[in-house]
Structure formats: C-alpha cells, structure tokens
C-alpha cells in the first residue's frame, strides 16, 4: 500500500498542476475469467479509484477471444471503476466474436463515443477487423461518425484526442484516409494500443501515443496516463503498484503512396461495377437475375450484374457478414439478428430472386456469420454456434442433432456424400450430406482455440478434405475415416484456399504473399508450383478461385492477382482499393466478381 501511495505522490509531481484534464488509458487487457490478467484487475481498479484521474478510456482487446463470458467478466471488473469510463473494441473482440459484436455494444451501451470533458473533445471508434483475420479498417459508418463528431464538437478549433485500437500506420487499411480527416482539426493526439509495445511517434503528421498492454512481453504490468491543458498533451507509463516512466519517442512515419501496378493486358477488363456507401464484409452470389451482397449497415443488396444498377435492397437489421448463396431461384443470406417480425438471435433469410420478397425465415440461436454452400436444390449452412442446417428451396429445414458446434465463420464444402466445415472449437466436422449425422470430427492436436479451423473453406476432392488454418499447416483428411493423411507447414499458409475446376489441385495463398498449387488425392504433400504474387506479408483470408484456367487471389490491401493455373505464371495484378478483397465469384456468363471491404464491387473479364 505504501508503494502505491508513493507512486501516486510521484504521479502528482510529474503531472503538473497546469494540466486540466487527466486521463487513464487501459489497453490490451486480454482478460479471460480466472487468467493471470483477470487476477490483476482488482489491484488495477483500486489504484485507478485512488488516483486523481478524471476519466478512463479502454482502447480495445479487453478479452482474449471476444467470447460473451470474457466480455461479461471484464465488464464486471471495469464496472468497479468509480470514474467516467469509455471503451472501444479491439481485434480480439471483433475478429472472434460469437455474438457478431453485439454483446460488446450491449454491455457498454455503444460501439463509439464522442464527448467533451473540460473543454477537450474525446472521440473513440472501433477499427475491426470484423469477423475474419486481416487488417483493421474503419467502417464507412464510423468514418461518417468521426466526421460528424469533429464538425459538431471541434468545428471552432476545440482540442481533440482520438482513441482507437490500431495505430494509423501499419495494419489499419484506411489509416491514411483517417489521418487526412483528422489533420483538418486541432488534434492533440491519436491514442491506440494493439502492438503491445509502448511508444510515441508522429504518424502521418499526427502525434500518436501507442499504449502498453496490461502485461507486456517482459511481464511488467501497467497502464498509461495522459494529461492536457488543451494546448499540449503529455503521456506517461504507470507501472501497476510502482513507478511512473516517460514514453520513448520513435522516428516519424510519413505516408508513402502504394506502388502502382503495371497496366492490364489488352484482353483483360476490370470494371468498377458499383461502390456501396457502406462497408462490405461479404462476398457476392451471382445469377442471371442479379448480384447479391450484404453491407455493414444491414442492407441486403441486389445489383444488375451488367450495369451495376441497384435492383432492390432489404434492411435486415444488424451488420451482415455471411456471403449469400443462390440456388433454384432462391438467394439466401445469414443474418446477425432477426428481421422485424421474426424470431431468433440470428438466422437465414431466403428471398425469391424474381419476386424480390422474403420467402422463408430460418431462425438460429445465435448470429449467422458464415456463408452457405448451395447445391442445385439445397443450402448447407452453419447456424452461428451450436447448429447446422440443410434447407431446400421450399423452406423445408433439417437440423443436425447430437453435436454442439462452436462458432462457424467459414463456408462448408459438400461432396462425395458428406458436408465438411470447421468451427472455433478446435474441430473440423464431417456430416452425412443426406441425414446430417456426424461421420467424424478432426482436430490438429492443439487445444488453443485461436488455432481452430473456424474460418476455413474446405476443399473436397479425390477422397480427401483439405484445409489451411491458423495453425499455418495445410492438412489433408481422409473423407471416409476422418484420419489425417498428411500435414505440411512447408509454406506459411493460413485461411486462404480454393480448388481447381477439375478437382486435381488446391491453391493456397501464403502469409509471405505467395500462391502455391498442391495436388489432391496424394498420400503426401505434393507441390506443383509456387508463384510470388509480390503481396508481401499478407494474412487476409480471401478464398482463392480458379475460373477458365486462371487462378484469382486477393490481398489485404485491395490487390487482385491473376495466375496461370497450369504454369503458375503471374499474369497480371490490379489494385482496386485500400482494403482487403473479401471473395471471388464466377457468374453465369464466365465473368469473375470481387468485393472489397470499402464497398467496391468489381467485374473481371478476361
């Protein structure tokens, strides 16, 4: 107790009386019920309550897995702080959330904030990524919130401090755009976390304070203190129960233009078909009647695939993350909440392509974030958590029984009499395609949930199910027995995979920006070729697509690459934006369609 009192006296000496506003910043708490970080929380809360700080801001990664149990635990701990408290989510809340982010908003009452304390404007917003691995990205609706809040609260030159999880440079796809918006105002600093390394740096012309985690790499424990008189912003590290230390300054980072790609070949046409005002986290379903996708503001949109004109759209409530699937005149999409008049914590909405109306609603116990796999007359789709469905075009539904599946983010594969899918519970599952009875379940031998095949798109071919997962292995599993045929980490693969049109090959994008081709049906890992896509480090989980002998892969920063399927030769590249490519879809006319997180939909004709 004496150490705490001495450190608080030292804090008072360092934080001079000229300061009007004092802020405690917590970042990267990574609390799970009962873990070491959770056990530190009572001491942290007591120390904050005993201080003279005016308010507390949490800049994301409050939890390890974003589970409801973790969120409720950390919320209960932080509720003991007797100061105004504001929080924004981090990638550990938005990437693996079993509630599609809704539990965070319910517990804290908001996803973002804009307030004024002692004449200083404080603005906080989330930065994703949203329900799949990749770079952070400020959603369109959050950009609009930022602009409106700055204009309303800081339009007369008021000082502003901005809070988010990702620093503006590095892993935030539209960081340069956010910096450009902020530079028009009196920004005292941009405060973030994520890196687990504390430093201060001018990023894109803005003073950036990157905060320490609760427990850092050296196992020291602490948080950060800010103070401002409205003119300058000071920052200090506070060791839990101990001393106060200054920040280390790093060299500034200036914005660098993204390298230009070479002109497209004359026979290749890449057309910006449509630019949605919202962000888009889904791929597209394409039929002769329309192109269908979902948005971050809950709209299910149908476009004319030739002109890009909006044919119709339906508001389905919460953000949509499930890539639509079309079959037998029906198009279906998983939802994160129930539309008006319907029941369920989420579900699957089935629309008639021609009548443009809701035909059926299949409720699910939790948000449906994974895509579905459609055959000619049926849809196979995970029901968020705990449930898996097969639904025909008439709405007749069969639900798998006997298993409690974890959250499912990927898209199942159907073939050779089985349906295969992964979940964030360490398991890959195979069900009988007709009865949905369990054939087998497989795991990679690792109990770490974040190494699960939760966001995989399996390929079924030649008696095998092949996946790449966060454990960075490519694995082939015998389709009949569920036994491992082979596993290889010769290349650093993650979650980006696709199969060839003839079933002879699987293609995987590596985290080193390469594309590899591997033979299917073999008793061991058999490499056909490697192509350097020149993406550099890349962890976006965009599935790979082969169409008419060309393999398409997408990067975390909007680059589409085309590779010859036979030789592995890089044919061309095209940069469509500054955000990750979500997915590729082949249309009935042979054109390939791609969606980007920033809301752009492209058509590719070769």
Q: Which tens digit of pLDDT belongs to each residue from 46-78? A: 999 999 999 999 999 999 999 999 999 999 999
Q: Which tens digit of pLDDT belongs to each residue from 485-524? A: 999 999 999 999 999 999 999 999 999 999 999 999 999 9
**pTM for this prediction:** 0.94
Res 198: pLDDT: 96
Q: What is the mean pLDDT of residues 15-31?
A: 82
Strands (E), 247-316: 269-275, 285-286, 291-294, 299-303, 310-315
Q: Which tens digit of pLDDT belongs to each residue from 220-240? A: 999 999 999 999 999 999 999
Q: Are 384 and 365 in contact (CB under 8 A)?
A: yes
Q: Are 387 and 364 in contact (CB under 8 A)?
A: yes
Which two three-digit tokens encode residue 597? Answer: 């997180």
Per DSSP, the residues of 62-77 read -BSS--HHHHHHHHHH
Q: pLDDT band for position 354 (50/70/90)?
A: confident
- Euclidean distance between CA atoms 476 and 464, whole angstroms: 6
Q: Which tens digit of pLDDT belongs to each residue from 478-487? A: 999 999 999 9
Q: What is the mean pLDDT of residues 122-143?
A: 96
Which two three-digit tokens encode residue 427? Answer: 């398991």
Q: Are 30 and 92 in contact (CB under 8 A)?
A: yes
Res 5: pLDDT: 42
Summary mean pLDDT of the chain: 94
Which two three-digit tokens encode residue 602? Answer: 């492209």
The rounded percent of the chain whose pLDDT value lies above 90 is 90
Q: Are 131 and 97 in contact (CB under 8 A)?
A: yes
- Of 105-109, 148-152, 176-180, 381-385, the range with the lowest mean pLDDT is 381-385
Res 196: pLDDT: 97
Per DSSP, the residues of 328-353 read TTEEEEEESSPPTT--SSEEEEEEET
Does residue 19 have a pLDDT over 60? Answer: no
Q: What is the mean pLDDT of residues 139-150?
A: 97
Res 343: pLDDT: 79
Q: What is the mean pLDDT of residues 72-85?
A: 98
Q: Does domain 2-246 have CATH number 3.60.21.10?
A: yes
Which candidate, 532, 604, 526, 522, places its Cα nearest to that of 568?
532
Res 257: pLDDT: 86
Res 15: pLDDT: 45
- Of 33-37, 79-83, 344-348, 443-447, the range with the lowest mean pLDDT is 344-348
Q: Which tens digit of pLDDT belongs to each residue from 248-297? A: 999 999 998 888 889 999 999 999 999 999 999 999 999 999 999 999 99
Q: pLDDT band for position 18 (50/70/90)?
A: very low
Q: What is the mean pLDDT of residues 157-173?
A: 97
What Rg do the C-alpha atoms of the chain give, in angstroms? Answer: 25
Q: Which tens digit of pLDDT belongs to each residue from 411-464? A: 999 999 999 999 999 999 999 999 999 999 999 999 999 999 999 999 999 999
Res 379: pLDDT: 97
Res 298: pLDDT: 96
Does residue 307 have a pLDDT over 80? Answer: yes
What 8-state DSSP symbol labels residue 541?
A: -
Task: Break the chain into its structural domains and give their ranges.
Answer: 2-246
Q: pLDDT band for position 348 (50/70/90)?
A: very high
Res 2: pLDDT: 44
Instruction: Check residue 205 and give left, alpha or beta (phi > 0: left; psi -120 to 50: alpha).
Output: left
Q: pLDDT band for position 355 (50/70/90)?
A: confident
């Amino acid at each position: 107790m004496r150490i705490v009192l001495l450190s608080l006296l030292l804090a008072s000496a360092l934080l001079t009386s000229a300061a009007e506003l004092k802020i405690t910043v917590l970042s990267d708490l990574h609390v799970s019920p009962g873990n070491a970080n959770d056990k530190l929380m009572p001491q942290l809360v007591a120390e904050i309550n005993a201080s003279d700080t005016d308010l507390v801001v949490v800049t994301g990664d409050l939890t390890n897995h974003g589970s409801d149990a973790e969120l409720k635990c950390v919320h209960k701990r932080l509720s003991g702080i007797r100061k105004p408290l504001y929080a924004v989510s981090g990638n550990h809340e938005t990437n693996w959330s079993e509630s599609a982010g809704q539990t965070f908003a319910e517990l804290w009452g908001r996803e973002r904030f804009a307030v004024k304390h002692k004449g200083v404007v404080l603005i906080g917003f989330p930065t994703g990524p949203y329900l799949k691995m990749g770079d952070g990205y400020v959603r369109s609706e959050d950009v609009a919130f930022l602009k409106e809040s700055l204009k309303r609260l800081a339009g007369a030159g008021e000082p502003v401090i901005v809070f988010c999880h990702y620093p503006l440079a590095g892993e935030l796809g539209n960081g340069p755009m956010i910096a450009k918006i902020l530079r028009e105002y009196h920004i005292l600093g941009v405060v973030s976390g994520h890196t687990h390394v504390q430093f201060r740096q001018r990023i894109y012309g803005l003073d950036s304070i990157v905060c320490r985690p609760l427990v850092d790499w050296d196992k020291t424990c602490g948080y950060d203190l800010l103070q401002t008189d409205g003119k300058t912003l000071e920052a200090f590290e506070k060791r839990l129960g101990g001393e106060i230390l200054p920040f280390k300054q790093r060299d500034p980072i200036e914005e660098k233009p993204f390298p230009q790609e070479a002109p497209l070949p004359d026979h290749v046409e890449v057309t910006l078909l449509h630019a949605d005002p919202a962000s888009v986290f889904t791929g597209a379903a394409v039929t002769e009647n329309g192109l269908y996708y979902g948005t971050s503001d809950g709209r299910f949109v149908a476009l004319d695939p030739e002109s890009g004109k909006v044919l119709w759209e339906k508001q389905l409530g919460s953000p949509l993350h499930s890539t639509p699937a079309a079959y037998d005149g029906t198009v279906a999409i998983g939802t994160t909440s129930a539309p008006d008049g319907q029941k369920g914590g989420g579900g699957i909405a089935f629309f008639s392509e021609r009548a443009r109306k809701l035909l059926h609603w299949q409720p699910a116990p939790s948000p449906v974030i994974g895509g579905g796999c459609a055959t000619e007359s049926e849809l196979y789709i995970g029901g968020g958590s705990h449930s898996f469905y097969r639904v025909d075009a008439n709405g007749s539904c069969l639900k798998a029984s006997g298993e409690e599946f974890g959250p499912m983010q990927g898209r199942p594969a159907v073939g050779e009499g089985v349906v295969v899918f992964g979940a964030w519970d360490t398991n890959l599952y195979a069900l009988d395609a007709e009865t949905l009875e369990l054939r087998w379940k497989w795991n990679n031998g690792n109990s770490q949930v974040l190494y699960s095949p939760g966001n995989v798109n399996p390929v079924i071919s030649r008696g095998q199910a092949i996946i790449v997962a966060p454990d960075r292995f490519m694995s082939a599993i015998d389709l009949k027995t569920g036994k491992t045929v082979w596993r290889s980490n010769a290349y650093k693969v993650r979650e980006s995979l696709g199969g060839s049109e003839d079933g002879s090959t699987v293609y995987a994008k590596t985290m080193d920006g390469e594309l590899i081709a591997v033979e299917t049906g073999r008793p061991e890992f058999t490499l056909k070729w490697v192509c350097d896509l020149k993406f550099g480090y890349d962890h976006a989980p965009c599935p790979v697509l082969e169409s008419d002998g060309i393999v398409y892969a997408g990067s975390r920063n909007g680059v589409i690459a085309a590779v010859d399927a036979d030789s592995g030769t890089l044919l061309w590249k095209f940069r469509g934006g500054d955000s990750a490519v979500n997915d590729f879809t082949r249309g009935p006319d042979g054109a390939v369609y791609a969606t980007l997180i920033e809301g752009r939909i492209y058509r590719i004709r070769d």
